[in-house]
């Protein structure tokens, strides 16, 4: 039966000010129940303050075969990393 239901990707915001992060997926017949299933499956232990669900079919993904041309060029560009200055300890979530 579960295979009849579409898949939804679940995103949880763990606290105010942070971004929603992908945590997994649920099956559900529609958006409202997808939200209920996401709540029951992924926020049982106080993991979040906000939830998003997105139909998995609507996710546009990059092609793994293109990984080389898409991502490898960034490897040689270390000047793009914030590694040339110190980040104070008090600054979290960077």
Partner 1 sequence: MTQRSPAKAEGKERVGAAVAAFWAPAFAGERLDFRTDYLLRLGDDALVLGQRVGEWCGHGPVLEVDISLANLALDLIGQATLLLGESGDGDKLAFHRDVLDFRNCLLVEQPNGDFAQTIARHLLYTIWQHMLLQRLQQSSDQFLREFAHKAVKEVAYHRELASEWTIRLGDGTEESAQRMADGLEWNWRFIPELFEVDEGLQQAIDAGIAVDPRSFEEEYRAAIAAVLAQAQLEAPADQRPILGGRQGHHSEHLGHLLAVMQFLPRAYSDAKW
Q: Which is nearer to partner 1, 40 or 70 (CB)?
A: 40
Please report how close the Cβ of residue 94 comes to partner 1 at its closest, in angstroms: 34
72: which 2 tokens? Answer: 């490898």
Give contact residues for partner 1 (rule: CB under 8 A).
1-2, 5, 26-30, 32-33, 36-37, 39-41, 44
Transcribe 42-82 into DSSP letters: HSTTS--SEEEEEEGGG-----GGGHHHHHGGGGG-GGGSS
Using the minimum distance from each CB to partner 1, give the nearer residue, 45 or 81: 45
| Cβ 36 to partner 1 shortest distance, Å | 6
Q: How many CA atoms lie within 13 A of 56 on its CB side?
A: 15
Considering the complex, state which of residue 40 and residue 74 has its C-beta at the smaller distance from partner 1.
40
The CA radius of gyration of the chain, in Å to the nearest whole number, is: 18
């Amino acid at each position: 039966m579960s295979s009849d239901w579409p898949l939804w990707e679940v995103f949880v915001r763990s606290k105010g000010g942070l971004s929603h992060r992908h945590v997994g997926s649920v099956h559900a017949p529609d958006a409202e129940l997808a939200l209920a299933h996401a709540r029951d499956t992924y926020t049982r232990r106080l993991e979040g303050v906000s939830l998003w669900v997105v139909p998995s079919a609507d996710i546009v993904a990059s092609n793994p075969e293109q990984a080389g041309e898409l991502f490898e060029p960034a490897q040689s560009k270390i000047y793009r990393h914030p590694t040339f200055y110190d980040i104070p300890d008090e600054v979290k979530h960077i």
